[in-house]
Amino acid sequence: MNKAKTCFITGMTDGLGLAMAGQLLREGWIVFGGGRRPERLDALHKEFPHTLFPLYLDVTDASSLLKAKEEVARRTESLDMVINCAGVFREGCDNPLETTDVEAALSVMDINAIGPMRVTKIFLPFLKKGQDPVLVHVSSESGSLTGNTQQHRYDYCMSKAALNMFTVLLRHDLPPLGIRVFAVHPGWMHTAMGGPKAPLSPEESAKGILSLAKTTGRAEDPVFFDYDGSVHPL
Ligand SMILES: NC(=O)c1ccc[n+]([C@@H]2O[C@H](COP(=O)([O-])OP(=O)(O)OC[C@H]3O[C@@H](n4cnc5c(N)ncnc54)[C@H](OP(=O)(O)O)[C@@H]3O)[C@@H](O)[C@H]2O)c1
């Protein structure tokens, strides 16, 4: 019998992360993950009481991630997929520089760019033991240096550009260890972050991203994609 595949997801309590968790669970995966509001996973947990493991985690707080790691380690020593999905778009982020709260920008960098470094460092030993393992970074077109059309949004764009660079650097290190890695723009989705006018459902984006996760991320592949599988300029 094939062993069930295992995944760890940050930002799993809402929007895209929640949609990806649901799709993986329906495919028979064992899913660990959460956010600062793990109670938001109660309904999904009732549906998948034996394969969903909701966890409290704050990607800015290494001690919460180490506790999450202990919970994962009680059940498995390997992960086949890790998805860094947690992210924030700060209110007031659209302001011009003159009225930008530069100090508040630090927390956005901490969550969107440094958080994935913390998570990846802690869970890398699990990925190393995974089956065709893959690391997925949910980035944004806002982080593209050559394709950016946004105005203002300094901290959000800069944080996602840093996440893309983290992905580029990991592309040197992880494929030689047998771990695939790529970054993806999930599209403009109607989530708490994207708002109700967005054209795309998180479920549709999740489907595209999980399909990419099955194939790409090797040394010879492009690094940055749109959720629909097309290559995005870095
Ligand atoms: N929506 C869009 O149109 C869009 C476009 C481009 C890129 N993205 C990216 O896609 C990803 C998912 O976005 P979404 O639209 O699904 O957003 P969302 O609905 O606002 O969900 C954000 C998720 O991030 C988690 N999170 C925030 N701060 C966290 C922290 N410090 N520690 C752990 N988890 C944290 C939240 O959980 P808790 O509150 O429970 O902590 C929540 O689960 C983000 O990285 C975002 O930048 C979204």
pLDDT digits (tens, 9 = 90+) for 24-60: 999 999 999 999 999 999 999 999 999 999 999 999 9
Total number of domains constituting the chain: 1
Q: Whole-prediction pTM value?
A: 0.98
How remote is the CA of residue 163 from the centroid of ligand 1, in Å?
14
Q: What is the pLDDT of residue 149?
A: 87
Cβ atoms of 126 and 79 within 8 Å: the answer is yes
Residue 233 lies in a domain: no
Whether residue 231 lies inside any domain: the answer is no
Query: Per the domain annotation, does 234 fall within a domain?
Result: no
Q: Which domain holds residue 25?
A: 6-226
Residues touching ligand 1 (Cβ under 6 Å) are 10-17, 35-37, 57-60, 85-88, 111, 138, 140, 186, 188-189, 191-194, 198, 202
**75 close to 128: Cβ distance less than 8 angstroms:** no
User: For the domain that residue 56 is a member of, what is the CATH number?
Assistant: 3.40.50.720
Report the atom number in ligand 1 closest to the C-alpha of 14. 43
Residue 145 lies in a domain: yes
Per the domain annotation, does 1 fall within a domain? no
Token pair, residue 213, equals 């996760």
